[in-house]
Amino acid sequence: MPLPVKVDEDLPEDVAAIFAAAGYAAATVRSQGWGGLLDEELWPKVQAEGHWLVTADKAFGNIRLYVPGTYISVVLLQADEESRRNYLELASATVRSLRLEEFPGCLIVATSRGIRIRGRS
All domains in the chain, ordered by first residue: 4-118 (3.40.50)
Q: CB neighbours of 57 closer than 8 A, spacing ≥ 6?
A: 8, 10, 39, 76
pLDDT of residue 121 exceeding 60: no
For residues 46 and 33, the answer to whether their CB atoms sit within 8 Å is no
* CA dihedral sign of residues 23, 16, 36, 103: positive
Mean pLDDT of 94-111: 96
Q: How far apart are CA 81 and CA 95, in angstroms?
A: 20
Give pLDDT tens digits for 7-32.
Answer: 999 999 999 999 999 999 999 999 99
